[in-house]
Amino acid sequence: MLSNTGITLVILTTLLSALIIYKSFTELHIENNFINKKIFNLVTFQTTFSILSFFVLIAGFVISDFSLINVYENSHTKKPFFYKVSGAWGSHEGSLLLWINILVIFSFLFLVFTKHNNKSYLLYTLIFQNFLILGFLIFLLINSNPFSKIYPIPIEGLGLNPILQDPALAIHPPLLYIGFVGSSIYFSAGIASLISNCRDKFFAKSIKPWVLISWSFQTLGITAGSIWAYYELGWGGFWFWDPVENASLMPWFVITALMHSVIVLEKRNSIYSWVIILCLLTFTISVTGTFLVRSGILNSVHTFANDPSRGLYILIFLSLMIFLALAAFFRYSKKEEYNFLLKSKETLILANNWFMFFFLTSVMIGTLYPIILEVLNDTKISVGPPFYSAVIFPFVIPFLIFMAIGPKINWIKNKYSRILSNFYILIASIFLNLLVYFIFGKYSIISNLIIISSIFLIIHSIKDFFIFFKKKNESDISRIVSHLGFGMLILFIGISHNFTVENDFNLKVGEEKKFSGYQINFNSVRMENEKNYKKIIGEFKLVNLKSNLEEILYPEIRIYDQPETLTYEASIKTKLSADTYLTMSNISRSDYYNIKFQNKPFMIWIWISAILIASGGFIRLIKIKMQ
Amino acid sequence: MKKNLLKIIISVLAIFIIGTFYVSLKKTEIYDTKNLVGTNLDNFELNSLNKNLKINQELVKKSQYTLINFWASWCAPCRAEHKYLINLKRNAKNLKLIGINFKDEKKNANKFLSEFGDPYHYSAADSEGKVSINFGVYGIPESILVNNDLKIIKKFIGPLNQEEYTSILSLTN
């Protein structure tokens, strides 16, 4: 029943997409300034059907309708309600339907909210967006149908991979998808702008809100993924430079570059071609990332669902997109004059682009080079954290300094006072760095420089904050918030990276262990039954011998029935100053448990900083809305 | 002219990347361990974990059957399968066990073996995990059963269980 409803809705959406493309083409030849009301109606219907189909899938999960293969494979009656709902996008098929929904919703919103009198620009955007929608719908129907039936109907489902049952991961795909897939709208708009000759300022104005929305959500999405890795994977890290993480980071670099370049295009009517390249690149790289993750080319801890036959379809689609973009760009781009001074604010905004492209290239090489090498030479290499630390970290230092000084370059007219104030801030940063040095202990020169430059950016941002409250017009609060967030992010990553206390040992109940300022007592273990798993809970007393603070930690070993899996839940005590992190794993045929302990300073501030970065984007969006 | 050259370069680059993806898409099948069964083991060479000894395909040729097991001290499921390995060493007559210690530290590996017992006739260290990749290992524990012609008879992904244990036992005895 649900299966038929779902498939009908998807097919209706597909037909409507084709109809919208057809109608838009005919509408292009009618010479007036209004878009036919019919097209609006079609898009509204398309959006409604698409959203309904997604609700049907969610309903299937909520009522545990195991006549759907997708529900059978990814859900279970005993699963908590929240994870039943999130199970709807936990599988490849479901997440593809979510992907299509976002494509459709963005297309609808773009059409409704863009106040633009260039009719052909809007129509072309709609046409290209619907080609994308159509492509993914066909993929869904022929290869990854979430509404496929199974007969005889199973009584019970297989369950969702327990490692995916986590609140941060439940919201991770929707957030990330709004970011990734949201970028499709300015991919379409970019090509439309080339063809319809609607360029420069107007173009920049029309895509800016969408760039901000997708950037902010993508930032949050990556953060949620990282939080999940930290709490759930149980390794105590939050970023592993894993190929799949890199696949989400690469579009973020391009989007960030685009967000800065759009400002230049809007203010100066310059670098139009570059902005177009970035628009086209963002979505292309997002789809490339999806291809790499979903095809199974990359072997990674994150690939929970992959299948090479899907890869082929995405690859064909990706190639079509790339060549469409290249053809449109080569055919319609014009030579431009660059007319701004080297010392202007715009040049410094573009400095952001240089850094972003450097980071992008480094991460891209680290991710793609092993694949290329394997094809050409049949050798397998793995590129890990040391590569990224060596290549990226040193360049973070000038990047932070540019972020601090760049935005203000033409405001303070008096050169002398400018240099002097920068000098004071630098001195203050070095002093604070020394403080860090004395509190925590020794660390490398690069780390020193990174911490100094991040403090430099933080002080600059705080100073700007006060200037903003004095003279509201002269300064841009959204930029200050995001830059402050970034400075803090690097500072706290630096501190937690250098000063994490770590120890790994075996203990049995009743024993204690002393090491580098801590004492751990293993008090007891007990067993409890939960709705869909059993758990073994250990009770540990942790004493900080320096401050005499005592804490009780309860790490768990969870035994899931469906599918039968063991997961290790870390016990994490989060404080503003540090996280204490303890996992235990059982050792078979032994009373001993393997204990991993970590004390990670300022962990929570890493998430706060990342959220601060994203909120800068939302603030800018609210400002645009108010204007 | 200059612009045309740019067009060509960018297009070639795009084709190259797409081509690479295509080829590796076809290649991913080699990771599918089902296809490895029946094929011959590639030559390999690893240092012994503790002794001054090279561990390579020659050792495999010497015994009628060899079970190559990939493990690490940090891997929890490896602890679960450990008892089956110990029992195999004890009960399987024509079987030698080679343990390949995957991305691990020697100190931890030896601690693990002294605590739970050493089920292996030979222990090799693959501290960077590079050689193991050539065996088609993509997560540990994994085990490969090979005969003296270096032919892969069976492959076990994940920890060995009772059923697999008895099947190995009946096959090799």
A472-494 pLDDT tens trace: 665 688 999 999 999 999 999 99
Which residues, at least 6 apart from A30, have a Cβ–Cβ distance to it below 8 Å? A36
Q: What angle do CA A506, A511, A515 make, to 5 degrees?
A: 65
Q: What angle do CA A221, A287, A252 make, to 5 degrees?
A: 40
pLDDT band, very low/low/confident/very high, at A300 (cuts 50, 70, 90)? very low
Check B28 against A296: CB less than 8 A apart: yes
Q: What angle do CA B82, B87, B91 make, to 5 degrees?
A: 155
State the alpha helices, DSSP H only, in chain B: 2-27, 57-62, 76-91, 106-116, 130-134, 162-172
Residue A412 has pLDDT above 50, yes or no: no
Q: Is B80 on the interface with A (CB under 8 A)?
A: yes
Instruction: Give me the pLDDT at residue A305, please.
Output: 45
State residue A198 phi and psi, 5-degree precision.
-100, 100
pLDDT band, very low/low/confident/very high, at A297 (cuts 50, 70, 90)? confident
Interface test with A, best of B15, B28, B33 (most A CBs within 10 A): B28
| Greatest extent of chain A over all pairs of C-alpha atoms, in Å | 85
Instruction: Report the gap between the CA of A310 and the closest CA in chain B (Å).
Output: 10
Chain A contacts of B133, Cβ < 8 Å?
380, 382
Residue A302 has pLDDT above 50, yes or no: no
pLDDT tens for A36-65 read 889 999 999 999 999 999 999 999 999 988
Give the pair of three-digit tokens for residue A220.
């949050």
Between CA A209 and CA A26 the distance in angstroms is 29
A24-33, A496-505, B126-135: least confident range: B126-135
pLDDT tens for B46-71 read 888 888 788 888 888 888 889 999 88
Instruction: Give me the pLDDT at residue A123, please.
Output: 93
pLDDT > 70 in chain A, percent: 92
CATH number for the domain whose boundaries are B35-172: 3.40.30.10
CA distances from A199 to A124, A185, A202, A281 (A): 14, 16, 6, 18
Check B28 against A311: CB less than 8 A apart: yes
pLDDT band, very low/low/confident/very high, at A160 (cuts 50, 70, 90)? low
Which residues, at least 6 apart from A432, have a Cβ–Cβ distance to it below 8 Å? A455
State residue A518 phi and psi, 5-degree precision.
-125, 155
Between CA A551 and CA A419 the distance in angstroms is 49
Strands (E), A234-378: none
Q: How many residues does chain B have?
A: 173
Pairing status of strand B95-102 against strand B122-126: parallel
pLDDT tens for A208-227 read 999 999 999 999 999 998 98
Give the pair of three-digit tokens for residue B80.
């679960």
H or E segment and range at residue A550: strand A549-553
CB atoms within 10 A of CB A197: 12
Q: Is A515 on the interface with B (CB under 8 A)?
A: no
Give the pair of three-digit tokens for residue A388.
């990224």
State residue A559 phi and psi, 5-degree precision.
-115, 105
CA distances from A552 to A87, A232, A581, B71 (A): 33, 20, 11, 33
Annotate A547-573 with b (16+ C-beta within 10 A) or e (fewer).
eeeeeebbbbbbbbebeeebbbbbbbe
Check if the beta carbon of residue B126 is closer than 8 Å to that of residue B103: yes
Instruction: Give me the pLDDT at residue A619, please.
Output: 93
Between CA A135 and CA A554 the distance in angstroms is 49
Residues 320-339 of A with CB under 8 A from B: 322-323, 326, 330
Give the pair of three-digit tokens for residue B22.
């295509």
Between CA A379 and CA A71 the distance in angstroms is 40
Gap between the terminal Cα atoms of chain A: 48
3-state SS, residue A483: helix
User: What angle separates helix A119-142 from helix A308-332, to the nearest 10 degrees?
Assistant: 160
User: What angle separates helix B2-27 from helix A272-295, to the nearest 10 degrees?
Assistant: 10
Q: What angle do CA A77, A82, A87 make, to 5 degrees?
A: 70
Chain A contacts of B25, Cβ < 8 Å?
295, 297, 308, 311-312, 315
Check if the beta carbon of residue A104 is closer than 8 Å to that of residue A47: yes
Q: Shortest CB distance from A312 goes to which of B25, B80, B82? A: B25
Half-sphere exposure of A440 (CA within 13 A, CB side): 27
Between CA A85 and CA A147 the distance in angstroms is 16
Annotate A164-188 with b (16+ C-beta within 10 A) or e (fewer).
bbbebbbbbbbbbbbbbbbbbbbbb
Mean pLDDT value of segment A284-299: 81
Q: Is A295 on the interface with B (CB under 8 A)?
A: yes
pLDDT band, very low/low/confident/very high, at A9 (cuts 50, 70, 90)? very high
Q: Which residue matches tokens 């603070």? A: A549
H or E segment and range at residue B56: strand B54-56
Between CA B30 and CA A491 the distance in angstroms is 43
Q: ipTM for the complex?
A: 0.71
Domain ranges of chain B: 1-31, 35-172
DSSP character at residue A564: T
Q: Shortest CB distance from B14 goes to which of A308, A311, A326? A: A326
How far, in whole angstroms, is CA B119 from its chain's centroid? 17
Between CA A566 and CA A535 the distance in angstroms is 10
Residue A627 has pLDDT above 70, yes or no: yes
pLDDT tens for A256-275 read 999 999 988 888 877 888 99
Between CA B130 and CA B100 the distance in angstroms is 11
Pairing status of strand A518-529 against strand A512-515: antiparallel
DSSP character at residue B34: G
More confident call, A167 vs A463 = A463
Instruction: Give me the pLDDT at residue A420, please.
Output: 81
Which residues, at least 6 apart from B103, have a Cβ–Cβ distance to it below 8 Å? B72, B126, B127, B128, B129
Q: Which residue matches tokens 């020794």? A: A442
Q: Is A589 on the interface with B (CB under 8 A)?
A: yes
Preceding peptide of A152 cis, ω within 30°: yes
Instruction: Report the gap between the CA of A272 and the closest CA in chain B (Å).
Output: 17
DSSP character at residue A521: E
Mean pLDDT over the full length of chain A = 86
Q: Is A307 on the interface with B (CB under 8 A)?
A: no
Residue A89 has pLDDT above 60, yes or no: yes
Closest CA to B69 of A593, B114, B79, B34: B79
CB atoms within 10 A of CB A378: 8
Chain B contacts of A312, Cβ < 8 Å?
22, 25
Residue A309 has pLDDT above 80, yes or no: no
Check if the beta carbon of residue A270 is closer than 8 Å to that of residue A339: yes
Which amino acid is residue A91, in one-letter code? S
pLDDT band, very low/low/confident/very high, at A301 (cuts 50, 70, 90)? very low
Mean pLDDT value of segment A180-201: 91
Closest CA to A271 of A334, A209, A207, A212: A334
Preceding peptide of A398 cis, ω within 30°: no
Residue A590 has pLDDT above 90, yes or no: no
CA distances from A486 to A211, A361, A480, B159 (A): 19, 20, 10, 43
CA distances from A128 to A5, A37, A97 (A): 28, 19, 19
Mean pLDDT over the full length of chain B = 81
State the alpha helices, DSSP H only, in A471-583: 477-499
A117-121, A191-195, A271-275: least confident range: A117-121
DSSP character at residue A618: H
A51-65, A325-339, A427-441, A522-536: least confident range: A325-339
State residue A373 phi and psi, 5-degree precision.
-60, -40
Check B29 against A308: CB less than 8 A apart: yes
Q: What angle do CA B98, B101, B102 make, to 5 degrees?
A: 130
pTM of the model: 0.80
Bridge partners (DSSP) listed for residue A506: A594
Instruction: Give me the pLDDT at residue A456, please.
Output: 94
Which residues, at least 6 apart from B104, have a Cβ–Cβ distance to it below 8 Å? B72, B73, B74, B125, B127
In order along its 173 residues, chain B shows pLDDT tens digits of: 667 888 888 889 889 888 888 887 776 544 455 567 777 877 888 888 888 788 888 888 888 889 999 888 777 677 778 888 888 888 888 888 999 888 777 888 888 888 888 889 888 888 777 777 777 676 678 888 888 888 888 888 777 888 888 888 888 87
Chain A contacts of B160, Cβ < 8 Å?
none
Instruction: Give me the pLDDT at residue A168, please.
Output: 79
Instruction: Give me the pLDDT at residue A73, please.
Output: 80
Between CA B173 and CA B155 the distance in angstroms is 18
